Structure 1
Amino acid sequence: MDKSDIRASLRALRKDMIRPDTVAALCAHAAALPEGQVVALYHAIGAEMPTQALAQTLLDQGRTLCLPVVMARDQPMVFRLWTPGDPLEDDMAGCPAPLDLNSEVVPDLVIAPLVAFDPRGYRLGQGGGHYDRTLAVLPQAIRVGLAFAAQEVELLPREPHDIRLHGVLTENGYRAFI
């Protein structure tokens, strides 16, 4: 299967997976996440793994949160400080993002959404390339995918620009790849 086929099948599958028990299980495993004081989350859209409860769990751990902002479609994203309840506005990609009044930061840990991942640590995103472009300019950041365990596939098609994850957090726990 090519990337578009994988996206189509797994997008449909993950809609049925968003349940309170799944999200609670994921948060219970958040203590196993790698260290990182400034953590980049994302504001879930559609059937992406919800992040509201995880955000509170990370704050309770004493971490600082930020969200990505797409400033231009073909450029790396920037990250702005964020706390749940802060006002958001749509960025250039139409995703909710902190206002430009919020300070820009460089995250130590990037928690990225995904459509699929494989056992080698490669992720398949929505197809815009925003995370691959951004992770390429943040080599020091620890890269973790946030997913349902059922989003794992045997092998993803890979391109030279694809950036591997250090690990993935699912409702079954944290799994390191690198």
Structure 2
Amino acid sequence: MSDEKTRVRAILRARKEAMAPEERREKSGYITRHLMLLVAEGETVMVFTSKEKEVNTKPLILALFQQGNPVVVPIIQKEDVSLRLSYLKDLGALVPSTFGVPEPIGNEIPADPEDVDIIILPMLGFDRAGGRIGYGAGYYDRFLSKHPDLFKIGVAFGCQEMEDLPTDENDVKMDLIVTEEGIVYEGGGGRHGDRRGRHN
């Protein structure tokens, strides 16, 4: 399985690398609009802070600020391969940190995972069965296994879709997957079912 995952990750990285910056910007804008239809006012949203070639989450974070949603971001802890959480009040607090990921180092406002309503997380690849493949370190899978009740929305560009991902028991399935096309997977029901209906 690990050899197959390595092969698939190489394919997915190449697809992402092949995208032009303008294409990334445009498609990230569509993704932001789709996501904002899924977030109710007042909900606390945990969102990843994007690196250059990922779905750009800066417009999403700004839109959440404008709507009045509390925003929480993850901080990578390499020592125990875990994530700690911080509220984010200003994009200016973000500085490149572990793996080049922007984090509010020096400006942390500790957040409790129990206060998070929705988590929006990155995917290197996905399939239409809710499968997600990350970059290989397992930070998000470990975090999600400890907090299984979080409503999980995976975001990626459409080119990152695979017909059948090589996933295992440690890979947590998404409740929703959103690309520039909109929702491409609806798995988790729960309290967000009405919002999925609004989105169609």
TM-score (norm 2): 0.79
Contact 1:17/1:148 (<8 A) preserved: no
| Greater shift in the superposed pair: 37-46 or 140-149 | 37-46
Q: Which residue of 2 aligns with 1:6?
A: 8
* 1:135 partner letter: L
Q: Which residue of 2 aligns with 1:37?
A: 43
Task: Note the aligned Cα RMSD (angstroms).
Answer: 2.1
Out of 119, 126, 131, the residue aligned to residue 128 of structure 2 is: 119
Q: Distance in 2 between matches of 1:139 and 1:57?
A: 26
Q: Which runs of 5+ in 2 are unaligned?
A: 189-200
Following superposition, the deviation at residue 140 of structure 1 comes to: 1.7
State the structure with more CA Rg.
2
Q: How do 1:164-175 and structure 2 match up within 5 A?
A: 164-174=173-183, 175=185
Q: Distance in 2 between matches of 1:149 and 1:116?
A: 9
Out of 178, 182, 187, the residue aligned to residue 177 of structure 1 is: 187
Q: Which runs of 5+ in 1 are unaligned?
A: none
Q: Which residue of 1 aligns with 2:142?
A: 133
Q: Distance in 1 between matches of 2:12 and 2:178?
A: 17
Q: Which has the higher helix share?
A: 2
Contact 1:34/1:142 (<8 A) preserved: no
Contact 2:133/2:167 (<8 A) preserved: no
Q: How do 1:129-168 and structure 2 match up within 5 A?
A: 129-168=138-177
Q: Distance in 2 between matches of 1:31 and 1:101?
A: 26
Following superposition, the deviation at residue 101 of structure 1 comes to: 4.2
Q: Distance in 1 between matches of 2:100 and 2:27?
A: 27
Q: What are the Cα deviations for residues 107-148 of structure 1, in whole angstroms up to 9, with x where unaligned? A: 221111111011111111010000000111111211111111
Contact 1:44/1:50 (<8 A) preserved: yes
Percentage identity across paired residues of the two chains: 28
Q: Distance in 2 between matches of 1:124 and 1:155?
A: 11
| Residues 114 and 73 (structure 1), Cα distance of their counterparts in 2 relative to 1, 3 Å cut | farther
Contact 1:73/1:92 (<8 A) preserved: no
Say which SS state the counterpart of residue 91 (structure 2) adopts. coil
